[in-house]
């Protein structure tokens, strides 16, 4: 450990990123940042039942599934990295916080996961001047012994990657596609090598969900929820694939641009003060009025605090103001596959029936 509380990491040292929680919102940023600072990045393996169980054993019962999964991901990195990155993500958007558990997460991990590699703990807080994503990341370089110039170039590239990632999500790409676009590409000087260059970056396909093409009777289902619940098949029991298998076309709350979220949010009497909650609330309102969405599924972790509130407002509003089918899927480590499949089948059947009755696109 160096004096500033960060581990000493020379060029080529390996830093581990837990593939959980806000990884699904920020991964390209972290990857490009650390690589540009001369480090190798290892991401923990995809979520499995076993990994969740490992994490749950180290966690208090009261914690939610995604936090237990996060513990498991940190444990999976333990013997493979020189340092593990445990960002404290206080706020990702001015006027909002993430969630109390995320505010305490690095400490919870530090005091509960044994044999922890040296942690890199850094606070990111958009509510405080100079502590936002870019500014806080800028401080990381010098603390790891890099020059100010290296640090600012790394942050610039990381922010650029994040921009590409978000634009791709907003256009309708999946997490994997968007992440690939953002992290493979013109970063020709990426350490660790590999083919690179503009030519390899695939063009965004015109999948813009806002002008939907005809789906030949396939129902459009909007999946809303935290990115880590929507995007992690190990946490959501491969929900997306199951729905696609049932003939559904999927939209997600991650497809709303920042401006769309703000426009919906500002129309509320009081804006939601959780970063993801604001997006979820906005997505429900946007999809409800879209006219071409056949049903909404809100994926909630068992005992999730913010979702217990946001979900309640969203569901009551939706039932009052529309006839749109709205399903709440609560998941935890005990959720049974068979029960989930039955519920999804019933929901998809209902959407198809409604579609036939109204005869065409949209309810």
Partner 1 sequence: MKVTFAHMGNLWITVKTILEDLGVEVVVPPRPSRRSLEVGVRHSPEFACFPLKMNIGDYIGAIERGADTIVMVGGVGPCRLGHYAQVQAEILRDLGYRAEMVILEPPRGHFSALLDKIRYLTGGKPISRVVRALRFGWEKLYALDCLDRALVRTRPLEAVPGGAAAAHRRAVAAVAGAAGVEATRRARDEGVAAVLAAGGAGAAWEDDGEAGGGLPGRNGTPLRVGIVGEIFMVAEPFANQDLERRLGEMGVEVTRALYVSDWVRINLLLDTLRLRRRSRQSVVKEAASPYLGHFVGGEGLESVGETVLYSRQGYDGVIHVAPFTCMPEIVATSLLPEVGRDLDLPVMSLFLDEHSGEAGLATRLEAFVDLLARRRARAGAGRATR
| Binding residues with partner 1: total (CB under 8 A) | 42
Q: Can you tell me the distance from the alpha carbon of 151 to that of 31, in angstroms, rounded to the nearest whole number?
A: 14
Nearest alpha carbon to residue 69 among 301, 242, 274, 330: 301
Dihedral angle sign, alpha carbons of residues 211, 217, 218, 221: positive
Name the CA radius of gyration of the chain, rounded. 21
Q: Can you tell me the distance from the alpha carbon of 236 to that of 64, in angstroms, rounded to the nearest whole number?
A: 13
Q: Which of 31, 36, 101, 249 binds partner 1 (CB under 8 A)?
A: 101
Quick check: 274 binds partner 1 (CB under 8 A)? yes
Q: Which of residues 284-313 bind partner 1 (CB under 8 A)?
A: 300, 302-313
Q: How far is the CB of 276 from partner 1 (least distance, A)?
A: 11
In this structure, the strands spanning 14-17 and 83-85 are: parallel
Site string for partner 1, 6-25 (x = CB under 8 A): --------------------
Q: Which of 11, 48, 57, 60 binds partner 1 (CB under 8 A)?
A: 60
Q: In what order do the strands lie in the sheet with 249-252?
A: 249-252, 220-224, 295-301, 326-331
When the beta carbons of 153 and 317 are compared against partner 1, the nearer one is 317
Q: Which of 21, 108, 137, 171 binds partner 1 (CB under 8 A)?
A: 108
Q: Are 92 and 126 in contact (CB under 8 A)?
A: yes
Q: How far is the CB of 74 from partner 1 (least distance, A)?
A: 14
When the beta carbons of 257 and 330 are compared against partner 1, the nearer one is 330
Phi/psi of residue 134, each to 5°?
Answer: -65, -45
Quick check: 204 binds partner 1 (CB under 8 A)? no
Contact residues for partner 1, defined by CB under 8 A: 59-60, 62-63, 88, 90, 96-101, 103-104, 106-108, 111-112, 121, 123, 269-270, 272-274, 300, 302-313, 316-317, 320
């Amino acid at each position: 450990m160096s004096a500033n509380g960060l581990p000493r990491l020379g060029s080529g040292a390996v830093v581990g990123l837990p593939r959980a929680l806000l990884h699904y919102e920020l991964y390209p940023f972290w990857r490009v940042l650390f690589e540009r600072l001369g480090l190798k990045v290892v991401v923990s393996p995809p979520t499995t039942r076993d990994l969740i169980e490992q994490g749950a054993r180290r966690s208090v019962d009261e914690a939610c599934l995604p936090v237990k999964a996060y513990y498991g991901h940190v444990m999976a990195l333990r013997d493979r990295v020189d340092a593990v990155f445990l960002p404290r993500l206080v706020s990702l958007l001015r006027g909002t916080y993430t969630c109390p558990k995320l505010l305490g997460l690095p400490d919870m991990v530090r005091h509960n996961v044994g044999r922890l590699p040296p942690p890199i703990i850094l606070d990111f807080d958009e509510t405080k001047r100079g502590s936002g994503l870019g500014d806080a990341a800028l401080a990381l370089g010098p603390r790891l012994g890099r020059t100010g110039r290296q640090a600012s170039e790394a942050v610039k590239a990381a922010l650029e990657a994040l921009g590409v990632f978000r634009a791709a999500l907003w256009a309708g790409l999946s997490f994997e596609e968007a992440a690939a676009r953002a992290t493979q590409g013109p970063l020709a000087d990426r350490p660790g090598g590999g083919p690179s260059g503009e030519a390899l970056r695939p063009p965004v396909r015109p999948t813009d969900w806002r002008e939907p093409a005809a789906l030949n009777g396939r129902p459009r289902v909007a999946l809303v929820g935290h990115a880590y619940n929507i995007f992690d098949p190990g946490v959501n029991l491969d929900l997306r694939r199951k729905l696609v298998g049932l003939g559904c076309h999927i939209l997600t709350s991650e497809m709303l641009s920042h401006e769309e979220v703000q426009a919906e949010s500002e129309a509320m009497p009081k804006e939601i003060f959780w970063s993801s909650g604001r997006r979820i609330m906005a997505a429900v309102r946007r999809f409800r009025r879209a006219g071409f969405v056949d049903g909404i599924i809100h994926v909630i972790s068992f005992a999730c605090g913010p979702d217990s509130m946001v979900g309640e407002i969203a569901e009551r509003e939706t039932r009052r103001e529309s006839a749109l089918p709205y399903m709440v899927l609560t998941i935890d480590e005990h959720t049974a596959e068979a029960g989930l499949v039955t519920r999804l089948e019933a929901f998809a059947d209902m959407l198809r029936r409604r579609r036939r009755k109204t005869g065409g696109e949209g309810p």
